[in-house]
Chain A
Amino acid sequence: QSVLTQPPSASGTPGQRVTISCSGSSSNIGSNTVNWYQQLPGTAPKLLIYSNNQRPSGVPDRFSGSKSGTSASLAISGLQSEDEADYYCAAWDDSLAWVFGGGTKLTVL
């Protein structure tokens, strides 16, 4: 049981916009920033979004993040086949631990 809650799956067709939610509590998302990671099949996670809505160099602007209260969202616009991956949210918890969501498997139909 993960501390942060994500839907197990999401899907969309090429060109569509999809969103993935991440729900936490006052001790993690409510008081700290949220990061998102993309894990392509068989590879290590890659930082996609940090500090709620910032993209590292090289990440397309099709990816965007937002946070409100104790929830956060990742949006992917102009969906492409190469976006098919697992997506994880993460945040620091005031219990002194990094916590992750259970992951959302994105399927491009």
Chain B
Amino acid sequence: QLQLQESGPGLVKPSETLSLTCTVSGGSISSSSYYWGWIRQPPGKGLEWIGSIYYSGSTYYNPSLKSRVTISVDTSKNQFSLKLSSVTAADTAVYYCARHAVVINAFDYWGQGTLVTVSS
């Protein structure tokens, strides 16, 4: 059974860089059938797509966050990572990693999510 697990600091200071990693188990991140994405949810609010990456390293980002986002992949560790720079309190959210299955064009597996709070 595929599992995704987010990891990283739960507290980040304003103006610093948020860094998270998603570890994929029970399947290969190098499959040509999937993209891997990051989605966030501020407390009490809706979902916002941050960006996605293919195992080859090809990326696409939410235009509203593009200037601050970098997503990378490490196929040897079966992981992909998120960096969000110059964070503010508005970036406080639960961050989810998820698998995007190309054939159905949907995020079909999600991690449990990790809360990141931006505060000094």
Chain A positions near chain B (C-beta within 8 angstroms): 2, 32-33, 35, 37, 43-47, 50-51, 54, 56, 88, 90, 92, 95-103
- A45-B96, A50-B104, A54-B104 given; name 9 further pairs at CB < 8 Å: A2-B46, A37-B47, A43-B112, A44-B111, A46-B110, A50-B105, A90-B47, A96-B60, A100-B49
Chain B positions near chain A (C-beta within 8 angstroms): 37, 39, 45-49, 52, 60, 62-64, 96, 104-108, 110-113
How many Å from the CB of B3 to the closest CB on chain A? 12
Q: Which residues of A contact B110 (CB under 8 A)?
A: 44-46
Q: How many Å lie between the Cα of A98 and that of B60 in the bound state? A: 10
Q: How many Å lie between the Cα of A56 and that of B96 in the bound state? A: 20
Q: How many Å lie between the Cα of A2 and that of B49 in the bound state? A: 11
When the two chains form the complex, which single residue of A46, A56, A100 contacts B46, counting CB atoms closer than 8 Å? Answer: A100
How many Å from the CB of B86 to the closest CB on chain A? 20
Contact B63 A99, beta carbon cutoff 8 Å: no
